[in-house]
Structure 1
């Protein structure tokens, strides 16, 4: 366990890679747990771990002034997750306004079917461009809904390796969908809203 001494915080502030790696090893699972509790999404939680540690890295110069590092990281994580939830709420409201405006009854059932078909086609195009292991991790965790631990066991990989593969796959899919244009993003997001996919965020 890391002794949160002034010397250690100074190492972090100076960008010491081994010290930062030890910080990640100690707190990544805790951040992941907090993020899952807020979002109920393993994918969003994985992204939150990366985002929080990026913030810690960018704020590293201020760490020697922190008295309780664990509390500081928890507050940083909580605030980040509240921002994520606010962004999701705004995004959903925007999607409804853009795609459902002018039709008080909402889109007819055939439109939902078309949206789902188009979204799945876009997803499949993106998946086919992924490396084999990233594609396998995505299919297991997102399409079949199995846990990271079970996916790791099935693929013969460590849990951290599976997490990294999933994060890279998600980043590629978001970038791929963005390149298709704004209208496609809206279709993709509305489909996520309708079908409760956990990997839909494009921010």
Structure 2
């Protein structure tokens, strides 16, 4: 766009759909504050909100060809933002459920809520560190299966993979996680194995 020209969102979206990074930067600067505000309100974390802004706009850039046909970018952005944040919250809820199950198996109850909370946070850190070593595809399949509760055929359909490929990713993820979690006790691994049925 020409510097100093009036803001023309339809023209900007067309330029972005053609791969114009400068136009995309303009769009980002114009809308990032609103996305951050919504994400901060829903996720209750500055860091999570900043991550959400980056991930949402990355998705928009990666699917930039769609932008040429959009007449109401604000509505489109609201939908993308809402869906992304709901996915984040759903993953967190799934992870919390898994961690609470681990906690019930690993921590002797009766020691008070403080012990449970500390153990839960430590297990969360251990699990997060372990999952972070997975390849992007393994991590995506693992999270969809274990944290979102999707079946293998649903994951395959969603990602455009065969069910056998999904099974392989899960098996590879399990192998890596078993190795990574080995230092934290066999019972933790056993529970993870049961969760990965």
What's the TM-score, normalizing by structure 2?
0.54
Equivalent residue, structure 1, for 2:59 = 55
- Superposition deviation, residue 72 in structure 1: 0.4
Three-state SS of the structure 1 residue aligned to 2:47 is: helix
- Superposition deviation, residue 111 in structure 1: 5.0
From 68, 73, 76, give the equivalent of 1:72: 76
Equivalent residue, structure 2, for 1:106 = 109
What's the TM-score, normalizing by structure 1?
0.52
Q: Deviations over 1:54-111 (max 9, x none)?
A: 11011101101111011101110011111111111000000111232276x6373585
Three-state SS of the structure 2 residue aligned to 1:101 is: helix
Equivalent residue, structure 2, for 1:87 = 91
From 36, 42, 50, give the equivalent of 1:38: 42
Q: Gaps (5+ residues) in structure 2?
A: 1-5, 127-176, 185-197
Q: Which has the larger radius of gyration?
A: 2
CA shift in 2, pair 1:47/1:183, >3 Å? farther
Q: Deviations over 1:6-46 (max 9, x none)?
A: x3222101211110110110000000011011111111101
- Superposition deviation, residue 112 in structure 1: 5.2
- Mapped to 1, the partners of 2:120 and 2:95 lie a distance apart of 18
Equivalent residue, structure 1, for 2:9 = 4
CA shift in 2, pair 1:18/1:94, >3 Å? same
- Mapped to 2, the partners of 1:2 and 1:18 lie a distance apart of 14
Equivalent residue, structure 2, for 1:157 = none
Q: Gaps (5+ residues) in structure 1?
A: 123-177, 186-203
Which of the pair has the greater relative contact order for Cα pairs under 8 Å at 6+ separation?
1
CA RMSD of aligned residues (A): 3.4
CA shift in 2, pair 1:111/1:53, >3 Å? same
Moved over 6 A (4+): 116-119
